[in-house]
Amino acid sequence: MRIVSLLPSTTEIVCALGLESELVGITHECDYPGTVIDRPRLTASRISHETMTSAQIDHAVRSQLDGHGSIYDLDEATLRQLGPDLILTQELCDVCAVSYKTVSQAARAFAGDVKVVSLEPNTIADIFANIRLVGELTEKKNEAEQLTSALTARLERVREKTAALASRPRTLMLEWLEPPFAPGHWVPEQVAIAGGDHAFGKAGERSVTTTAEAIRAYAPEVIVLIPCGYYKEDILRQLPTARLPEGWDQLPACRNNEVWATDATSYFSRPGPRVVDGVEILAKILHPEIFGPPSSVEAVRVA
pLDDT of res. 289: 96
Q: Supply the DSSP string of 266-296, one letter for each residue.
A: IIIIS-STTHHHHHHHHHHHH-HHHH-PPPT
Q: Do you find a cis peptide bond into 179, omega within 30 degrees of 0?
A: yes
- Mean predicted confidence (pLDDT) in 102-121: 79
Integer angstrom CA distances of residue 45 from 156, 167, 192, 202, 225: 37, 43, 33, 28, 23
**Range with the lowest mean pLDDT among 86-100, 127-141, 177-191, 250-264?**
86-100
Mean pLDDT of 21-30: 96
pLDDT at residue 97, as a whole number = 65
pLDDT tens, position by position, 63-77: 765 554 567 889 999
Mean pLDDT for the stretch of residues 97-124: 79
How many other CB atoms sit within 10 Å of the CB of residue 154? Answer: 14
Query: Which pLDDT tens digit goes with each residue over 193-205?
Result: 999 999 999 999 9
Query: Helix, strand or coil for residue 300?
Result: strand
Model-wide pTM > 0.95: no
Q: Which residues of 284-298 are buried (b: 16+ CB within 10 A; e: fewer)?
A: bbbbeeebeebeeeb
Task: Considering only residues 135 and 59, tell me which one the structure prediction assigns the higher pLDDT.
Answer: 135
